[in-house]
Amino acid sequence: MKNTKKKKRMFSWMNPKLEVRDTKKYGKGVFAKKNLKKDETLFVMGGYVLDIKDENHLKGFPEDKAIEISEDFSFCPLAPKDIELMPQHHVNHNCEPNAGWHGQVFMVAMRDINIGEEITYDYAMVICSNRNSKAYFKMKCKCGSKNCRKIIDEEGWKNSGLQKKYKGYFQWYLEEKINKNKNV
């Protein structure tokens, strides 16, 4: 019998060992359906790439849904329906994350991840203040980890403790800024 199930067009690739489901705490999240090894690829990002000027002109949505891939560009859904095509937008923040970045588009496991664990990354790994952006990202953290920073904003990447802790797992453009500042 022929499989008539229609495949949904996606902007991003999500590891089949992951699933999106309700967190019972703060909306949807991404969880491990199977064990994952350290440095295993979790997502290959894709989607609409917007420059800061275009992002500044969006009305009401997406606000906090952009994932920065450079100082001037973000993966950004244009409407709520786009989030289902870009499942990386369901990965929540945690001050003790189990996922990080390799380059611009690869989200990877920072350690072995067990079945049932929520996939999280620290937003400090991707968010950087940009003088051309009309928005400034700031949120109260509700992660509950013992090292919770309470407030997450665009300056977190400058924290030397986080730089050491996440070395090799920041978005490439932030790794570049960190390395450049250390060489000054």
Q: Would residue 75 count as lying in a domain?
A: no
Q: Please give the pLDDT value at position 98.
A: 98
Please classify residue 104 by burial: count the beta carbons closer than 10 Å to its beta carbon, then call 0-12 exposed, 13-18 middle and 19+ buried.
Answer: middle
**Angle, vertex CA 27, rays to CA 25 and CA 29, nearest 5:** 95
Q: Would residue 173 count as lying in a domain?
A: yes
The pLDDT tens digits for 45-86 are 887 788 877 777 776 655 556 777 777 787 777 777 777 777
The pLDDT tens digits for 127-140 are 876 655 556 678 89
Q: Would residue 66 count as lying in a domain?
A: no
Q: Would residue 90 count as lying in a domain?
A: yes
pTM summary value: 0.83
CATH of the domain at 97: 2.170.270.10
Structurally, the chain folds into a number of domains equal to 1
Question: Pairing relation of β-strands 92-93 and 118-121?
Answer: parallel
